[in-house]
Structure 1
Amino acid sequence: MAASGAALPEMTSGVSRERSRKGLQTTDKSAWSLSKEEIAKFINSQKQNICVGVLQHGFHRSFSEIFQLVRLDQERREAAEVNSAVSLQTPLEEQQHKMESISRHLSRAEQAKRDGQWPLAYKQRLILGGYFTDEEDLWLSLHFYLTCTDAPEEGCLGHATEARACLAELYLQQGQLDKAREQAELCVQLADGGGWSDSSGRSLRHRARESLWSIYSRQADSCFKAGDHNEALRLLHSGYTTATESENKHIEGEAAYQLGLAYYSLGDHDTSEQYLNTSMQICSTTQDIDGLGKAYKAMAKLCESKGNLNNTIHLLETLVDISRSNSLHHHLVDACLCLGNVYTNMRQYDRARERLLQGYNVACNIGDKTLVHKAQVSLASAHTRCIMRKYSADVESDMPLALSRLLDWKVTRGRHDATDDDVVSDY
């Protein structure tokens, strides 16, 4: 440090001589001297400068928390597998904008506590929780939300409730369903008694229920996969009740749809029909065309299982019209393919081919390779059945025209494209 101190005057005098040589004068020699603070900015790390600044302003609690977060970041990176995404992350202390944001809002929160403005203090932490949205920063978001959940001070319970709503959504995003459910259920209990809104003005009572419905739905999926059908149904019914209380008709329609599918898979077609009808009514009222399309397809499949093919065809034809008029191309392809298969099973091969060809063309237009392949298989099957039906009829016939068609087919077979109309008429 002594050597550095000796070199600084030399540098300063050198600058002064250069200015004199160029004819520039200065009357204040101190204007060309660097302060200790300015020197520190160049010598110290970003973490040191930020921490020193926080301490200089007397925010000792903020300093301790920043130091703790830097240590936690180092520990989590060291504990991660070698060359994993976490281990390769840039250390928090080297990310200036994040460190500055943390120090700024923590300092404001500490000052607010000194002034007795507790709601403002927790608001700063909520701001920090919402600031860190990138995947690599979710641990920071969780930290700041968790520090808001135990807010005993008067007037802060709304902030604590909002923090729990945010935690439920974060845990759900990470697939930690049990933790997400715990936070969402606590949030519902608190929000029902307080009637608060979040920072954006959204009702916490409704927001918590929307999250809780998503959690119940995900847990029910896991139970179905594990073969625990009773628990899955219980969760879906809880989800449906929660969805109706959320006053969000979109998720209410989806919850009814999921119950309909669940009862269909368990063979309870009457109960399935009840919930699918409810879903269709809700989606129709709210103009949720995508949800309506899903409900129509499920109901059509149910009617087909019950042997009611007339209702099946009516539902699918209606879905074709709805999908076409609303440019729902994937629903349109599915409806056409389903209709084609129904007509094929009814041995109405011409109608089957017509709908399957329509679905194939739409699938090609939207470039969905999976749907194109699916349509090709169904179309080829229907086309083959159509040819075989007409070929068998001509073989059994003693009419000259039938014999002529058989002879023509023998000469020209294999030369036609499978989608030409003349192939169907002359097999």
Structure 2
Amino acid sequence: MDAAAAAKRRRAGSLLPEVTSKRGRSSQNRAKPDNESLHTSSEWDESAQVASKREIALFRNSLKQNVCVRMLQEGNHRSFSELFYLLQAERDRRAAAEPSSALSSELRPLLEEQREKLETVRLHMCEAEQAERTGSWPAMCEHRLFLGQFFSAPEDQLLSLHFFHSCADREQGRSSRPATEARACMAELYLQQGELEEARQQAELCIRQAEDGGWLDLSGRPLRLRARQTLWRIYDQLAVAPMDAANYSEALELLHKGYSMATESDDKQIEGEAAHRLGLAYQRTGDHNTAKKFFNTYMQICVTMNDAGGIGKAYKAMAKSMESEGNMEETIRCLEELVHITRINGLLHNLADACLLLGNIYCTTSHYIRALEFFIQGYEVSCETGDVSLQQKAQVLVARARAQSLLGTYGADVVSASPGALRRLLVWKNTRETLGAQSRLHRAES
């Protein structure tokens, strides 16, 4: 029986695992994956700490180099060449500038040092190049127009002009809407710089292209009207030099061209200003009848627009022509209207000026008491404005009018020689002597 039990245990033992030995192997097997996991985690941490070549380059290289490399990697070789030229040209201008000029100032960074601007240039130049490759000329011009408008700061005007020209002067796309708007922008920019002939050329080209295409700018304004408004200002500036040189025929020709542009601009304010400028030019030549016609046109436009300042300017100009013609009654009427308009609209500087002008007219006609009244009004208003130079001018005019009024009375008494006149002369003489003695005493004490 014992033998049978032992045999039974041997048969069962072959089916049961060895507890001790199996446990050891199981522990070893469990430890091995843990070691592998630790080894893998260590490798991952090490790889995470090692930067790629691109990341190292971004860190070590300059902003300019990184941007240029990216453009080349993306295959935009023409954009790279253009940008490199612009950056080098800016460096050359900085090197050639006078030490005291704003261009050489160390406070003003170069384009290659300004991340936002440089990235904007890269993006839109590359987009423009891609559009050019596919023949999408309007899209190409849109990107270049954007860059021209993006560089709106005064120190970036050369960059702005570069992108405007690259938008408008290309053979393909030069008649597109963005190219036409670029010409309008260039006309305004050249006008700011005083390059009047270049501004005139760009504005005229813009008008021709806008008439053909009926384009609107990004704000929804017709480009043909915008260019006409700019061209009026250009003609107005061009007329300054011949007018100063007394070359009136040339100046009037330019001003008439400007007036024509203004009337076609659908802007009544500009049309009124152009009429006023033309009237002043005719006034300067001595043709007061024609001048008054343009002043009347200006006044009517200002009345329509409820422009009190413009109405006052029209009355002032009209009064000057009336005075030149010797029509003092109409001159006084115009100036009195000017005083009334400026007073009710609270235009203090204009009111003070109008009072002084009217006082001068009354002095011219020997109405010194009336002149004194307006000079005093002008002085009081000038005190409200705080304009010291205007106050001093008014003080001189008040003193002059007061002296002239006294001299008029004194002269009449001298001519009269009546007992009453003689008594007034003696009183006046004694008063002047007393005042003179007091003044001398005051100066001696001081």
Q: Residue 415 and residue 32 in structure 1: after superposition, are their counterparts in 2 closer, same or farther (change >3 A)? A: farther
Q: Secondary structure at the match of 1:198?
A: coil
Tell me the alpha carbon deviations over residues 336-380 of structure 1, each in whole angstroms, 9 at most, x when there is no partner. Answer: 111010011111112211111111222222222332232222222
- Cα pair 1:151 1:157 within 8 Å, conserved: no
Aligned-pair distance for 1:26? 9.8
**Contact 1:181-1:215 within 8 A present in 2 as well:** yes
- Bigger mean CA deviation after superposition, 128-137 or 390-399: 390-399
Contact map agreement 2:175 2:209 (CA 8 A) in 1: no
Alignment match, 1:272: 291
> Structure 1 stretch 179-188 or stretch 78-87: which is displaced more?
78-87
Distance 2:112 2:437 in 1: 72
Could you tell me which runs of 5 or more consecutive residues in structure 2 were left unpaired when the two chains were aligned.
1-41, 439-446
2:350 and 2:43 map into 1 onto residues whose CA distance is 79
| Number of the residue aligned with 2:381 | 362
Which residue of the other structure, out of 361, 365, 380, is the alignment partner of 1:346?
A: 365
1:31 and 2:52 matched: no
Partner of 1:316: 335
Q: 1:156 to 1:231 in 2, by over 3 A?
A: closer
- From 236, 243, 249, give the equivalent of 2:268: 249
Structure 1 315/42 Cα, relative in aligned 2: closer, same or farther at 3 Å? same
Q: Retained in 1: the 8 A contact 2:145–2:179?
A: no
Equivalent residue number for residue 70 of structure 1: 87
Structure 1 residues 176-196: Cα deviation after superposition (integer angstroms, max 9, x where no partner): 111111111111111122211
Of 33, 42, 50 in structure 1, the residue corresponding to residue 59 of structure 2 is: 42
How far the C-alpha of 1:292 sits from its partner, in A, is 2.1
Between 219-228 and 169-178, the greater mean CA deviation after superposition:
219-228
Amino acid at match of 1:297: K
Deviations 1:195-236 (A, max 9, x none): 111111111011000111111111111111233221111101
Task: Number of aligned residue pairs: give it.
Answer: 393
Q: Does 1:137 align with 2:159?
A: no
1: CA distance, partners of 2:133 / 2:201:
33
**Alignment counterpart, residue 432 of structure 2, candidates 410, 419, 423:** 410
**Deviations, residues 382-405 of structure 1 (Å, cap 9, x unaligned):** 121122223334454522873574
Equivalent residues in 2 for 1:85-164, closer than 5 Å: 85-88=102-105, 89-153=108-172, 157-164=176-183
Corresponding residue SS for 2:219:
coil
Of 110-119 and 375-384, the range deviating more from structure 2: 110-119
Matching residue of 1:20 = none
Deviation at 1:411, TM superposition (A): 6.0
Aligned to 1:51: 68
The more displaced of 275-284 and 334-343 is 275-284
Task: Provide the residue aligned with 1:230 in structure 2.
Answer: 249
Q: Contact conserved, 1:349 with 1:386, CA < 8 A, in 2?
A: yes
Structure 1: tracts of 5 or more residues without a match:
1-24, 417-427
In 2, are the aligned partners of 1:119 and 1:156 still within 8 Å (CA)? no
Report Cα offsets for 1:271-316 as digits up to 9, x if no partner.
1111111111112112233222222111001111111111111111
**Structure 1 residues 326 and 226: alpha-carbon distance in aligned structure 2, compared to 1, 3 A threshold:** same
Q: 2-side partners of 1:251 and 1:281: how far apart? A: 13
Q: Report the residue type matching 2:238 in the other structure.
A: Q
Aligned with 2:286: secondary structure? coil
TM-score (norm 2): 0.82
Q: Is the 8 A contact 1:220 1:235 kept in 2?
A: yes
Contact 2:196 2:234 in 1 (8 A): yes
**What is the letter of the counterpart of residue 346 of structure 2?**
S
| C-alpha deviation, 1:414, in angstroms | 6.3
Aligned ranges for residues 176-255 of structure 1 at < 5 Å?
176-255=195-274
* Counterpart for residue 4 of structure 2: none
Match of 2:391 in 1: 372
Specify which of 395, 411, 420 is matched with residue 399 of structure 1: 420
1:32–1:174 distance in 2 versus 1, CA, 3 Å? same
* Contact 1:112-1:118 at 8 Å conserved across structures: yes
Alpha-carbon separation, structure 2, partners of 1:154 and 1:183: 16
CA contact (8 A) 2:272 2:297 kept: yes
Provide the secondary structure at the position in 2 that maps to 1:148.
helix
Partners of 1:93 and 1:363 lie apart in 2 by 53
Identify which range, 87-96 or 143-152, moves more after superposition. 87-96
TM-score, normalisation: structure 1 = 0.86
SS at match of 1:197: coil
Structure 1 CA distance, aligned partners of 2:407 and 2:437?
Answer: 17
Q: Determine helix, strand or coil for the equivalent of 1:351.
A: helix
Aligned residue identity for 2:72: L
Q: Is the 8 A contact 2:128 2:140 kept in 1?
A: yes
Instruction: Kindly indicate whether the alpha-carbon contact (under 8 Å) linking 2:173 and 2:179 is maintained by their aligned counterparts in 1.
Output: no
Task: Give me the CA root mean square deviation.
Answer: 2.4
Larger Rg: 2
After TM superposition, the structure 1 stretch with the greater mean CA deviation from structure 2, 237-246 or 349-358, is 349-358
Give the SS at the match of 2:298. helix
Matches within 5 A, 1:263-302: 263-302=282-321
Per the alignment, residue 347 of structure 2 pairs with 328
